[in-house]
A and B are shown apart, each in its own frame.
Chain A
Amino acid sequence: MKHFLLFLLTLALRGAELHFALAAEPKTVDPFLVADEPAEAIRYLTEGSLVRVNRLTQQPEPELAESWQVLANGRKIVFHLRPGVTFPDGRPFTSADVADSFSKLLAPGLHSPIADPFRTAKGTVKVTAQGKYTVVAEFPEPVPQALRLFDQVSMVSAAAAQRPAPGLGPFLIAERKPGVSILLRRNPAYWKRGLPRLDSIRIEILQNRDLELLRFRRGELQLIDKLTPELFDRLRADSPASAMDAGPTLDSEFLWFNEAPRAPIRGMAREWFQSKNFRRAISLAIHRDDLCRVVYRGHASPAAGPVSPSDKIWFDQALKPDPFDPAGAKKMLAAGGFRLEGNTLRDRAGNAVEFSIITNAGSVTRQQMAAMIQQDLAQIGIRVNLVTLDFPSLLERMTRSLDYEACLLGLVNVDADPSGLMNILLSSASNHPWNPAEKSPQTDWEAEIDRLMLAQASTADAAARKKSFDRVQEILHDQEPIVYLLHPNALAAVSPQLEGVTPVPFFPHTFWDAEHLDVRAKQ
């Protein structure tokens, strides 16, 4: 009888199909190996987690865990699971599934980037089942904001023979045509009664952004999660109600110089890049307001550091983006031993200052920014050569050969918490941009950043963490190893047919509340 009523309820609530596109094929649909945005989109829609960070409020909310207690100064979290939740095959969801999911996630051979934040210098988290609906997670040392980490971990059935397996999210993968489309259908066993409202979601793989907008205008797609600034303005001119600007994202665009001693670059170039005066002068010479106004058409904010102003908790209000000040830049360079001869800047040895900036082909905004930076630096006598490379070639130079001088790139920041930047700001990290994998910090200020980042990562005291991370931001602002340029806004297109969409600056910008979305029938 219960099943019959459920069936009737499902029929009554039968919704339509949502169509949107992803820019690339997900590299995997294994929820434990998700490392790119398209894969994360599929995981977000099809998997359930103990805790879900509400993308609107940025606060963790109960999901498969209906409550929890944080104990022992953040070293222990006791989760109380929601009873009555079942997998699509009818198996009940219990603490055994949670323990098993973590066991698989943390398996040494898996090398999951989702698992890495659960590992600290002192060891790995232990997740044990205590009773049918209680799970205890014990960390060897306090992990700040540990609760938020559980948002990324999908709960997989212990009985699943392989991954992906039908999960606990609002939708299930019904069909997958690699490189073409993915069809998700409503999960009939979803634990939130009456949800999702949509019957299915068809996600197409479309690399061409113009084509995506064309199809949106034709009504074939109801959502575009990320629009370029030109396309956004074009849409806004025709259908202002469909174009939504959710404000600055957590992402940033920046430029950095290769300071690695082992990099096969000219010695004189390395000397320039290692000069704080040189880096600060570059920062002062770049017109950030123009970059925001011209390239991003006003849909971006100048950046003072790695943290976006939309991150209200961690953004250091005292820091301001460097103003456009070519005169100040020249003074800074003069203080660093550089001199301007006519239109050419020369170093102490009389060498003309000239270097190359690499960036990825396929990003029109980055190429435009690079061209503007080239002109800005020409005003202070620096000649810049721009080289656009396809992404693998760019990565090769950045991470292997280190055969580059300066690089213009962006960071898609998935985590508002500073611990998300550990693998970039720690001097020993492979992704430490200006000097990867240092055996020991090359400078005092890098040593101080290391100390502060490790300090904030080992305490749950919010005030202490804020103090440490504010100091990190001040050092970065002062030393400028990375010249932060701007934070782009979240620009989305939402069809008037779609109900329940509230775009947010954090990924996923438009379908973060997919279970409440619905498509009205066309009139």
Chain B
Amino acid sequence: MAALVLLAGWGSAMLLRDAPGALVDERELNPRAGEETIAALRHNRARERSVAANLASYLRGLAHGELGFSESNHTSVAALIADRAPRTLRDVGCGLTLGWIAGLAAAVLVARFPRAWPCDVAFLGASAIALSLPAAFLAYLAMLAQATPKLVLAVVIAPEIFQYSRNVLRDGYGAAHVEMARARGVSESAILARHVFPAAAPPLIALAAASVSMAIGAAIPIEAICDAPGLGRLAWQAATARDLPLLINMTMLVALATTSAMTISEFFVRRGNR
């Protein structure tokens, strides 16, 4: 996993090196800037773009806990991440929690009570509509309604959770051993807690890991549109400003989160398949 994370960082550095606009500095367009100043700006920019030199110094710094300097924010990357990460973690954490609570509660309701089919139809309809609209558009509507990014994330996550858990829990309720338990007079809450959930746990945990990856992916356009000062907006800014140190670090963070989520997801899928 560590190798993959470093590869992701290196990959983004290579991409940036060859990206159009990597060597330009907007300050060159300042009408006051004379030829020497413009030449100096270009020289500095070219020096920053040397991937090999920068990667070596970056790795050396990483060993000492330094993550480089962000030109576009004029501050250290470590300070930036430390400043923005709590906001994103809070938004993603709350969004995931709210999304899971809403999605799972709705799924349990429709799985447990087959007669609640109007609710099933309503939830399916609502989740389908939420899944049909881009996260960026939902973020825009949320901005107009003065809702926070965490609510948008919850709205993005909940439908996937609902639709998947609904199927898994319905399968669980349909299992023979559940029918047997019901016939023996076991209470419904006990059936849910001791028979349905344990069987549904591996795919649900796999989904939980995947939903983390989903939430991180959705956070970028949501924070960009809502102007929320989190890691998502930082990642967007790193790309548009061609900020090499920032982009490397943001890519590595995303790689770490994604590969961790995938690994956990794989583990529980395999466990469930045994």
Contact = CB atoms under 8 A, between A and B. Distances in A.
Contacts of B74: 25-29, 178
A439 to B, nearest CB: 13
Interface in B14-51: 19-24, 26-38, 40-41
A360 to B, nearest CB: 11
B112 interface: no
Contact of B143 (A180, A208, A392): A208
Given A117-B32, A211-B226, A415-B31, A112 B37 contact: yes
A306 B189 CA distance: 77
Residue picked from B19, B29, B75, most chain A C-beta under 10 Å: B29
A394 B21 contact: yes
Given A411-B31, A429-B35, A431-B29, A180 B146 contact: no
A104 B92 CA distance: 47
A211 B227 contact: yes
Contacts of A414: 31-32
A115 B30 CA distance: 12
B61 to A, nearest CB: 19
Contacts of B146: 214, 218
Contact of B21 (A114, A205, A392, A429): A392
Interface stretch (B116-124, B166-174, B233-241, B250-258): B233-241
Nearest to A117: B32
A393 interface: yes
A348 B79 CA distance: 62
Interface in B127-159: 143-144, 146
Contacts of B234: 179
B26 A391 contact: yes
A113 B26 CA distance: 13
B179 interface: no
Nearest to A431: B29
Interface of A is mostly: loop
A442 interface: no
Contacts of A210: 143
Contact of A395 (B24, B31, B35): B24
Contacts of B242: 392
Nearest to B22: A392
A75 B22 CA distance: 42
Interface in A204-253: 205-208, 210-211, 214, 218
Nearest to A180: B229
Nearest to B140: A210
B32 A420 contact: yes
B247 to A, nearest CB: 12
Interface of B: 19-24, 26-38, 40-41, 70-75, 79-80, 83-84, 143-144, 146, 224-227, 229, 233-234, 237, 240-242
Interface of A: 25-29, 35-36, 111-117, 119, 177-180, 205-208, 210-211, 214, 218, 389-397, 399-400, 411, 413-415, 420-421, 423-424, 428-431
Q: Which 6 A-B pairs have the closest CB atoms?
A: A392-B21, A116-B34, A111-B40, A35-B27, A395-B24, A113-B33
6 contacts: A25-B74, A111-B40, A179-B229, A180-B229, A211-B226, A214-B146
Given A35-B30, A428-B35, 16 more contacts: A29-B74, A116-B32, A116-B33, A119-B34, A178-B74, A205-B229, A214-B143, A392-B19, A392-B22, A395-B26, A397-B20, A399-B24, A420-B31, A423-B32, A430-B38, A431-B33
